[in-house]
Structure 1
Amino acid sequence: MERKSIDGKERRTPSGAAVIRPDLTEALFRALFEEWADVGYAAISLERVAARAGAGKAAIYRRWPGKLQFASDAIERVGVDLGEFSDHGSLEADIIAYLAKTRRALRHPLVRRIVPDLAAERARSGDLAAALDRVAAARRALGEALLDRAVARGEISAGIDRELALDFIPSPLYWRMIVRGRPAGRADIARHAAALVAALKAC
């Protein structure tokens, strides 16, 4: 908004608030994950995060009230996000697509270092539990859709133990890549998918 001063010149009315730049927000998210991977959640310094992003700490506090809210937002926005995937025609093909998306996330070097710390931090304090639960619920919803399609095709029983099935699907890949630190190629995903189909039929 413009207004005239007593000298007749146009002057801009101060907005009273700093502009939130999306590019800086993304830089802060990247810096947070880099710091997290280096030192773990408990030792994260918001000053160091801001410095990594080329900003001052005030840039963080303009967006989030503290570290917990910042980290929770980061987990939900740029954490392990599988997105949506369509019907691939069979349970095995759907599982392969699901695992391929999971593998792409777990192959990221920062993700491989942060995911174990997330589990440890949840056990230590539970501060991040709400954010982790929301992410897990969104991912399990994709698994539910996968199971619904398989039931509709007659590939698995409608009475399948869904909780057990949803735990089964990502577990072998997580164990291989995160716990054992081993790579997972397309052949590994295909073997996992075939084994998972057999297991789901027994649930």
Structure 2
Amino acid sequence: MDSGGTTRPGGRAARVREAVRQATIAELGEKGFDGLTVEGVAARAGVHKTTVYRRWGGVEGLAADALDLAGGEPWPVPDTGSIQGDLRALTRLVVAGFADPELGPVSTAFIAAAMRNAPTARALRAFFAGRHEQSAVLVTRAVERGELPAGTDPAEVVRIAVAPLYYRLFVSGEPVDGAIADRAADAALAAARAGILRASRAPDDPA
């Protein structure tokens, strides 16, 4: 997928890419992935549809590129002074994001797209990897404060904390609220404190 040419940053290609990205996000928020069309994105972005087809190929490329760029945006990592407070704030942030009337439909559309096409699935994996890496500082700080065992896998703690929320949102359809978010955070914290979420070692590494 050609994501906008090789002209200098800030040039026309970069402006077109940003306009198309914003148009894609807006269209996803309003219409979902099923309603996303090249024509709709092109009209909203103010570019010709042949430009979109040439650079992004189709709706799959549009969704993947918008998600790829979204992954570079800063993530408001909590810093409450304790690992329990940080994890609870993180899980509540996830719940609030999906409940947001503007952000929620976009996030849901990205996940729906990832379930149906490989380019968006790859972009979604990269997006989550980036979010987990940014959030890992919560666990690193906790280890340094002595709240968690040395060797705790930071990204795995984050995954375990947010996984029940995504299960409820996209698999079981059960309700998700602040209490559920806190429970998920506390369960991940209990596992981390018990030493279950230590980073994996190679077979020949010393224990």
Provide the TM-score with structure 1 as the length reference: 0.67
Is residue 110 from structure 1 mapped to residue 112 from structure 2 by the alignment? no
Structure-1 separation of matches of 2:104 and 2:140:
33
SS in 2 for 1:47: helix
Is residue 73 from structure 1 mapped to residue 65 from structure 2 by the alignment? yes
SS in 2 for 1:85: coil
- Alignment map for 1:140-159 (pairs within 5 Å): 140-159=132-151
Structure-1 separation of matches of 2:106 and 2:165:
14
Q: Percent identity?
A: 30
Deviation at 1:169, TM superposition (A): 1.6
* Aligned residue identity for 1:174: Y
Is residue 97 from structure 1 mapped to residue 97 from structure 2 by the alignment? no
Is residue 165 from structure 1 mapped to residue 157 from structure 2 by the alignment? yes
Structure-2 separation of matches of 1:65 and 1:189:
37
Is residue 182 from structure 1 mapped to residue 147 from structure 2 by the alignment? no
Structure-1 separation of matches of 2:109 and 2:148:
35
* Aligned residue identity for 1:127: P
Structure-1 separation of matches of 2:82 and 2:190:
13
Q: Decide whether aligned partners of structure 1 residues 81 and 97 sit closer, same or farther in structure 2, where only a CA change above 3 A counts.
A: farther
SS in 2 for 1:128: helix
Verify the 8 A CA contact 2:84 2:185 in the aligned structure 1: yes
Q: Decide whether aligned partners of structure 1 residues 117 and 80 sit closer, same or farther in structure 2, where only a CA change above 3 A counts.
A: farther
Deviation at 1:81, TM superposition (A): 5.6
Among 115, 124, 127, the residue aligned to 1:120: 115
Report the equivalent of 1:29. Answer: 21
The number of residue pairs the alignment matches comes to: 179
Verify the 8 A CA contact 1:33 1:110 in the aligned structure 2: no
* Aligned residue identity for 1:92: Q
Q: Decide whether aligned partners of structure 1 residues 54 and 134 sit closer, same or farther in structure 2, where only a CA change above 3 A counts.
A: same
Question: RMSD between aligned alpha carbons?
Answer: 3.4
Structure-2 separation of matches of 1:181 and 1:112:
18
* Aligned residue identity for 2:33: G
Report the equivalent of 1:11. Answer: none
Deviation at 1:77, TM superposition (A): 2.6
* Aligned residue identity for 1:147: V
Deviation at 1:192, TM superposition (A): 2.8
Structure-2 separation of matches of 1:126 and 1:32:
18
Report the equivalent of 1:40. Answer: 33
Provide the TM-score with structure 2 as the length reference: 0.66
Verify the 8 A CA contact 1:34 1:110 in the aligned structure 2: no
Structure-2 separation of matches of 1:21 and 1:127:
21
Structure-2 separation of matches of 1:142 and 1:60:
32
Q: Decide whether aligned partners of structure 1 residues 39 and 195 sit closer, same or farther in structure 2, where only a CA change above 3 A counts.
A: closer
Report the equivalent of 1:15. Answer: none
Give unmatched runs, 5+ long, in structure 2.
1-10, 197-207
Give unmatched runs, 5+ long, in structure 1.
1-17
Structure-2 separation of matches of 1:163 and 1:85:
13
Among 185, 191, 199, the residue aligned to 1:193: 185
Verify the 8 A CA contact 1:82 1:102 in the aligned structure 2: no
Structure with max Cα Rg: 1
Report the equivalent of 1:13. Answer: none
